[in-house]
Amino acid sequence: MTAISDRFETLKQNQECALIPFITAGDPDLETTAAALKILDSNGADIIELGIPYSDPLADGPVIQAAATRALQNGTKMESVLEMLKVTTPSLQAPIVLFTYYNSILHRGIDNFLEQVAAAGVAGLVVPDLPLEEAAGLLKPATERGIDLILLIAPTSSSERIEAIARSSQGFIYLVSVTGVTGMRSQVEGRVLDLLQKVRQVTDKPLGVGFGISQPAQATQVRDWGADAAIVGSAFVQRLATGTPAEGLSAIAEFCQILKAAIKTS
């Protein structure tokens, strides 16, 4: 059983919904990123998604795009992120999932990349621009190294495609709540409930909902609709970037506690 599957199994036994915060590596710097990972880990995060800054982030909204731009301007590179993780992950309870684009993987070579992320203690990968039809080339070698490749299902996915993605996705299945990029929205669209029900009919794998969750009430709503995890990105990235690094770290600690309390079953 992988680290992510093990975490979901424990949560299932306790009838808990997982909280998965997202932050961008290197914004404002990698020292702060390492501190943020530890703070999220100790304030309610069950799994942590860490975005690798990329120059053409097709799936990211303005908040995360801006964070990636700042990180790249500061000189953040994949290798430096992995070196930071190698030092940091041994002290974390929450498994780390890297959010990265496929070109960054191909540039390094799939096997070389996977060896590096495995050595850094990474438990899973989300590659938003990797279509199902091309996933096998990454899925098999990742699985051999105990790294989960987490695939995405969009609201527009057909029933046949949903079933195929559900079969292949490892760790959990990432349900995209909107047709569009990441970002904070005022409410979760009602069709997320329909999507959850549709996917649940074909798999018992954990289902995480992301893209657009930014408020405690929204996290509670997706939990009540049957999600196994609430994934929150832009709201964390924005808080971490506000004020001094110390103020940002304090803000994400408080927000993490509030969100975890919102999805705890009464």
Q: So which residues are the catalytic ones?
A: 49, 60
| CA end-to-end distance (rounded Å), the chain | 29
For the CA atoms of 28, 50, 157, 103, the dihedral, rounded to the nearest 10 degrees, stands at 80
The C-alpha atoms of residue 135 and residue 231 are separated, in whole angstroms, by 22
H/E element holding 211? none
Q: DSSP letter at 215?
A: S
Kindly report each contact of residues 186-192 with a partner whose C-beta sits within 8 Å and lies 24 or more positions away, as own/partner. Answer: 187/218, 188/212, 188/213, 188/218, 188/221, 188/222, 189/155, 191/155, 192/155, 192/222, 192/225
Nearest to 19 by CA among 50, 52, 55, 43: 43
Name the phi and psi angles at 14, rounded to 5. -90, 5
Q: Alpha-carbon Rg of the chain, whole angstroms?
A: 17
**Whole-number Å distance between alpha carbons of 62 and 17:** 28
Contacts of 238 (CB under 8 A, 6+ apart): 63, 184
The DSSP secondary-structure symbol of 92 reads: -
* Omega before residue 28 within 30° of 0, cis: yes
